[in-house]
Amino acid sequence: MLKIRQENIKDYKEVYNVIKTAFETAEHSNGNEQDLVVALRNGDGYIPELSLVAETNGQIVGYILFTKIIIGKYVELALAPLAVLPEYQKQGVGSKLIKEGHKIAKSLGYHYSIVLGSENYYSKFGYIPAIQYEIKSPFDVPNENFMAIKLNNTNIEVKGIVEYPKEFGI
């Protein structure tokens, strides 16, 4: 049975290896995603409730992290990274991690999550080009790859250029 739960300190080493292994065969990778997570955990944007592992038979097979970003006056979320071990991919693990993450993010009151990634994948979970919400990337990227999802209905105007935590090096 696949279980999604909050990561704890004892998981750090296993999570590091899951991220490293998942991105070794990824289409887009800078090879540093596992180190980014180490840095983000120690940064101001870290939210323990949104650092989640997917576990089956006591083995961690997937990981997702949402960290704080700033859009205009508001603190919102960026999904990065999402990683599933190659032998567990295409079995719904990534989906479960995203859906559970969104549920928790909603309950914590965030309005938006943004992601940089494949439009074919993230559109399945409700992400659309962020530009449609007037949320803009601080770097050059095709509009279709810089996406956002509205998590909570709101009338507040969350618009502007995204400011990432310094750990992203942007």
Ligand X SMILES: CC(C)(COP(=O)(O)OP(=O)(O)OC[C@H]1O[C@@H](n2cnc3c(N)ncnc32)[C@H](O)[C@@H]1OP(=O)(O)O)[C@@H](O)C(=O)NCCC(=O)NCCS
Q: Is 56 in the site for ligand X (CB under 6 A)?
A: no
What contacts 24+ positions apart, CB below 8 Å, involve 152-157? 152/106, 152/109, 152/110, 152/111, 154/111, 156/74, 156/111, 157/72
Binding mask 25-44 for ligand X (x = CB under 6 A): -x------------------
Q: Is 21 in the site for ligand X (CB under 6 A)?
A: no
Dist CA 94 CA 62 (whole Å): 7
Pick from 4, 7, 15, 22 the residue near ligand X by CB under 6 A. 22
Closest CA to 70 of 8, 146, 137, 161: 161
Burial of 144 (0-12, 13-18, 19+ CB in 10 A): middle
72/129 with CB nearer ligand X: 129
Q: Report, in Å, the least distance between residue 103 CB and ligand X.
A: 15
CA 6, chain centre distance (Å) = 14
Instruction: Determine the residue with CB nearest ligand X.
Output: 94
Find the binding residues for ligand X in span 115-134 (CB under 6 A): 117-118, 120-121, 124
Pick from 59, 95, 107, 152 the residue near ligand X by CB under 6 A. 95
Task: Give the three-class secondary structure for 36.
Answer: helix
27/140 with CB nearer ligand X: 27
Q: Using CB under 6 A as the criterion, which residues of the chain lie in contact with ligand X when the complex forms?
A: 22-23, 26, 81-84, 89-95, 117-118, 120-121, 124
